[in-house]
């Protein structure tokens, strides 16, 4: 997606979901050693993947939001993601355990506060938040910790069919029909355009609504493309450090 603050809600929700899953995997262990060896290291490895996912989503958050919230250690989170992905064997299990036991809860509180503030400032779309609440992908997030504006209308009132079977847009009340849309990702060294993404599209204003699981699938696809291209660039230095653009259709 475009690196604008209006698109950051999805990335913050992805981070919250990852934190909640890490809590599930680590809650019953009291020491770094116990956590490392628990369940034949499945919990530890899954947690590293989730920590890397947190860092990947932080990389996508707009500069505008990061500058507004300097109290969040954005760069430290990204740096750990890079180490988890590229230097897995060199990770210190004690540092990993400290992060999940001491650092994630304060980060979670800050993210809940950011979402609440940006909803109030109209930078985040309330209907998108309502849709996320009903998504299976975000089922572990305690949404009651997000303070929302009073008197809002739920997206369900529009996106769910009415008595005539019609779904209406929460923005312009136009009719929503199945269609396709395009997602644009502006990352550090690469621009990725994903076309033909399944979506519900308003026939009046053209706004697109994408199911959470589809968005996550596309995010994973973009992550793989980015990492493969970065690896290719490292082995072919003649390509140089110029910004690269990729367009794909799904």
CA distance 213 to 249: 18
Calpha distance 152→243 (Å, rounded): 41
Q: Beta strand pairing status for 244-249 and 175-186?
A: unpaired
Q: How far apart are CA 129 and CA 32, in angstroms?
A: 35
Q: Which of 139, 130, 114 is nearest to 213 (CA)?
A: 139
Vertex 220: Cα angle to 217 and 222 (nearest 5) = 110
Q: How far apart are CA 179 and CA 203, in angstroms?
A: 10
> Which DSSP state fits 204?
T
Under 8 Å between Cβ of 50 and 58: no
Q: How many residues does the chain have?
A: 250
Pairing mode of beta strands 208-209, 190-202: antiparallel
> Is 220 annotated as catalytic?
no
Which of 86, 213, 224, 243 is the catalytic position? 86
Three-state DSSP state, 119: helix
Check if 145 is active-site. Answer: no
Catalytic residues: 81, 86
């Amino acid at each position: 997606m475009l690196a604008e603050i209006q698109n950051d809600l999805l990335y913050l929700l992805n981070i919250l979901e990852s934190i909640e899953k890490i809590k599930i995997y680590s809650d019953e262990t009291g020491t770094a050693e116990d956590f490392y060896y628990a369940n034949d290291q499945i919990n530890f490895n899954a947690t590293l993947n989730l920590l890397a996912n947190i860092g990947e989503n932080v990389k996508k958050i707009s500069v505008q939001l990061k500058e507004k919230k300097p109290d969040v250690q954005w760069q430290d989170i990204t740096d750990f993601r890079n180490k988890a992905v590229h230097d897995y064997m060199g990770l210190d299990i004690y540092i990993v355990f400290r992060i999940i036991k001491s650092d994630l809860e304060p980060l979670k509180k800050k993210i809940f506060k950011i979402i609440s503030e940006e909803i109030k400032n109209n930078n985040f779309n309330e209907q998108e938040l309502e849709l996320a609440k009903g998504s299976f992908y975000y089922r572990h997030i305690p949404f009651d910790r997000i303070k929302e504006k009073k008197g809002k209308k739920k997206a369900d009132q529009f996106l769910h069919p009415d008595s005539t079977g019609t779904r209406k847009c929460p923005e312009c009340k136009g009719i929503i029909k199945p269609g396709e849309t395009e997602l644009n990702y502006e990352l550090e060294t690469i621009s990725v355009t994903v076309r033909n993404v399944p979506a519900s599209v308003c026939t009046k204003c053209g706004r697109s609504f994408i199911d959470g699981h589809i968005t996550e699938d596309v995010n994973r696809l973009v992550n793989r493309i980015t990492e493969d291209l970065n690896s290719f660039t490292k082995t072919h230095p003649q390509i140089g450090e110029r910004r690269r653009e990729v367009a794909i259709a799904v």
